[in-house]
């Protein structure tokens, strides 16, 4: 009995060994035999020819939400809109996407409704401040050469600008746009709009004059020009004191303000940023195409168009700052015909690149009440912005005048009291000012 059992066992072992050897020689036809005699792993029988892709589609998770990515993208966008006071727009977007509705969109809709009900009609001051190009390297600007005093009086440093933004933000100011103040119909008639803001918020328009990066400023510690980097963001080309070329987000007011609003979306009303004002006699944005010809000129103009489009996409407006910025504007000796010619030349050269605008920021902050002002209005410039630190405005039936307060060395150092409604200037002044 025991011997028979042993012999039977040996036979079985031999049989299995033979089968194994045959299967090694010719795997294809013996597949059935192997699967019948051995105990294959469950994975092997479940997916005999399965690729990883087939496994994934064959076993979906029961609670996967095919709309999750789309909803997450909408929620991110809606949260930013909510922060930027776009309550009606948030509600409209949720209504337009019923397929994405869930508890989170319901909560957002409730928040938008609650916040909208708390808005109050604003009847306070319309604030407007302006800057010139920022000084990146004070040691180069304040080097006691011929332009030292100009820079000292009319410019602020990057450090000062970086100190100002949080003070304005904490002070309740919100970046605003004339689109929410006045509209003009097809006949040019003005309608002044009611402004609704959360209690304590104040509308602030910010402008940047002479964003031309003039030749006289080269080598004096300013950016060279504006540019768009490989990520598609607005930056400045900068040459360091060591002579290295950099593309920087921190070399002028516009890219710095873009970053600040990214970090503090509620500093901007409906995405508004500011106004960028251009003359024309040395081109635009640091590209002096007036000195170029042929393909080089075409390329410079194309780059200016890209930069103008990028500004508009980012919530900025562009303005005329005269073509020539000639001294006769400030001595008031300029004639009406000269104003007409100057404005037409700007429209033909700069206007043709940046597109339509109804904003005119006057050179030297000059202010006319005669035919010279009418020359601007007749050419589509409906909002005219001189300089006077009180920032009063005139709401005409065909145009609006709004004075702007200069933020520069004159106000920061010599007349800090003029800035008291915005911030304490003593917290701002750069220690690198001599």
CB of 305 to Zn ion, least distance (A): 23
Site stretch for Zn ion (CB under 5 A), options 72-80, 203-211, 260-268, 311-319: 203-211
Q: How far is the CB of 360 from Zn ion (least distance, A)?
A: 12
Q: Are strands 383-385 and 359-361 parallel, antiparallel or unpaired?
A: parallel
Q: Which of 198, 188, 255 is nearest to 225 (CA)?
A: 255
Q: Interaction with Zn ion in 82-111: which residues (CB under 5 A)?
A: none
CB of 324 to Zn ion, least distance (A): 11
> Residue 265 or 386: which CB sits closer to Zn ion?
386
Judged by CB under 5 A, the stretch of 146-154, 202-210, 241-249, 309-317 that binds Zn ion is: 202-210
Q: How far is the CB of 114 from Zn ion (least distance, A)?
A: 44
Token representation of residue 236: 């400045």
**CB 418 within 8 Å of CB 411:** yes
Q: Smallest gap, in angstroms, from Cβ of residue 314 to Zn ion?
A: 22
Closest of 355, 306, 366 to residue 333, by C-alpha: 366
- Indicate the residue among 94 and 206 with the shorter CB distance to Zn ion: 206
Of 210, 252, 342, 408, which one interacts with Zn ion (CB under 5 A)?
A: 210
Give the residue with the Cβ less far from Zn ion, 83 or 366: 366
Distances (CA, A) of 224 to 216, 221, 288, 317: 11, 9, 11, 21
Let me know: does 249 contact 233? Beta carbons within 8 Å.
Answer: yes
CB of 281 to Zn ion, least distance (A): 11
CB nearer Zn ion, residue 184 or residue 364? 364
Q: Which residue has the tokens 């081109």?
A: 283
Per CB under 5 A, which region of 25-33, 76-84, 201-209, 426-434 contacts Zn ion? Answer: 201-209
Smallest distance from Zn ion to CB 154, Å: 9
Q: Is the dihedral of CA 99, 100, 104, 107 positive or negative?
A: negative
Residue (268 or 322) nearer to Zn ion, CB: 322
**Judged by CB under 5 A, how many residues of this single chain contact Zn ion?**
2
Name the nearest CA neighbour of 165 among 271, 248, 254, 236.
Answer: 254
CB of 321 to Zn ion, least distance (A): 6
Strands 190-192 and 119-122, sheet pairing: unpaired
Which residue lies nearer to Zn ion by CB, 210 or 220?
A: 210
Stretch that binds Zn ion, among 133-141, 152-160, 206-214, 267-275 (CB under 5 A): 206-214
CA distance 399 to 218: 37
Burial classification of residue 231, based on how many CB atoms lie within 10 Å of its CB (0-12 exposed, 13-18 middle, 19 or more buried): exposed
According to DSSP, the residues that pair with 202 across neighbouring strands are 173
Cβ closest to Zn ion, residue 263 vs residue 290: 290
Of 159 and 210, the one with the shorter C-beta distance to Zn ion is: 210
- What secondary structure letter does DSSP report for 315? T
Sequence-separated (6 or more) residues with CB below 8 Å from residue 431: none
Measured from the CB atom, the residue of 248 and 362 that comes closer to Zn ion is 362
Stretch of residues binding Zn ion (CB under 5 A), selected from 67-75, 103-111, 209-217, 286-294: 209-217
Instruction: List the x/- string, 237-276, binding to Zn ion by CB under 5 A.
Output: ----------------------------------------
C-beta of 418: minimal distance to Zn ion in Å?
Answer: 19
Q: Is 209 in the site for Zn ion (CB under 5 A)?
A: yes
Q: Give the strand pairing for 173-175 and 202-208.
A: parallel
* Shortest distance (Å) from residue 390 CB to Zn ion: 20
Q: What Å distances lie between residue 269 and 202, 358, 434, CA to CA?
A: 10, 20, 37
Residue with Cβ nearer Zn ion (87 or 323): 323
Tokens of 150: 């100009």
Per the listing, tokens 């900025």 go with 316
Q: How many angstroms from the chain centroid is the CA of residue 365?
A: 27
| CB-nearer residue toward Zn ion: 151 or 267 | 151
CB atoms within 10 A of CB 135: 30
Which residue do the tokens 């029988």 mark?
Answer: 45
DSSP 405-425: EE-SHIIIII-GGGGTTT--G
Region binding Zn ion by CB under 5 A among candidate stretches 134-142, 205-213, 230-238, 344-352: 205-213
- To Zn ion, the closest distance from the beta carbon of 351 in angstroms equals 17
Binding-site ranges for Zn ion (CB under 5 A): 209-210
């Amino acid at each position: 009995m025991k011997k028979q059992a042993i012999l039977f066992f040996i036979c079985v072992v031999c049989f299995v060994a033979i089968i194994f050897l045959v299967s090694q020689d010719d795997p294809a036809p013996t597949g059935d035999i192997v699967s019948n005699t051995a105990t294959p792993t469950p994975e092997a029988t479940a997916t005999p020819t399965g690729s990883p892709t087939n496994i994934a589609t064959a076993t979906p998770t029961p609670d996967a939400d095919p709309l999750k990515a789309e909803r997450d993208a909408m929620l991110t966008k809606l949260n930013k809109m909510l922060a930027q006071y776009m309550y009606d727009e948030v509600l409209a977007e949720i209504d337009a996407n019923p397929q994405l509705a869930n508890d989170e969109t319901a909560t957002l809709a409730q928040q938008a409704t609650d916040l909208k009900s708390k808005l109050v009609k604003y009847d306070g001051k319309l604030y407007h401040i302006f800057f010139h190009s920022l000084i990146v390297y004070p040691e180069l600007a304040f080097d006691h050469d011929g332009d030292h005093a100009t820079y000292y009086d009319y410019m602020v440093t990057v450090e000062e600008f970086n100190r100002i933004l949080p003070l304005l933000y904490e002070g309740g100011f919100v970046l605003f746009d004339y689109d929410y103040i006045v509209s003009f119909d097809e006949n040019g008639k003005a309608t002044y709009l009611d402004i609704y803001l959360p209690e304590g918020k104040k509308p602030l328009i910010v402008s940047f004059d002479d964003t031309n990066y003039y030749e006289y400023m080269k080598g004096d510690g300013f950016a060279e020009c504006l540019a768009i980097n490989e990520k598609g963001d607005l930056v400045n080309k900068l040459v360091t004191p060591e002579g290295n070329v950099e593309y920087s987000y921190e070399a002028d007011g516009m890219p710095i303000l873009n970053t600040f609003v990214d970090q503090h979306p509620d500093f901007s009303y409906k995405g508004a940023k500011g106004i960028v004002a251009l003359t024309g006699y040395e081109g635009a944005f640091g590209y002096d195409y007036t000195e170029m010809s042929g393909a080089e000129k075409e390329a410079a103009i194309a780059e200016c168009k890209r930069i103008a489009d990028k500004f508009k996409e980012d919530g900025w407006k562009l303005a005329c700052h005269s073509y020539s910025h000639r001294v006769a504007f400030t001595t008031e000796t300029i004639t009406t015909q000269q104003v007409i010619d100057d404005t037409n030349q700007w429209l033909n050269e700069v206007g043709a690149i940046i597109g339509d605008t109804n904003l005119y920021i006057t050179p030297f902050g000059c202010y006319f009440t005669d035919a010279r002002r009418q020359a601007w209005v007749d050419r589509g410039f409906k909002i005219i912005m001189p300089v006077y630190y009180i920032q009063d405005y005139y709401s005409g039936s065909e145009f609006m005048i709004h004075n702007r307060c200069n933020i520069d060395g004159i106000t920061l150092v010599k007349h800090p009291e003029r800035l008291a409604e915005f911030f304490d200037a003593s917290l701002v002044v750069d220690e690198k000012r001599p």
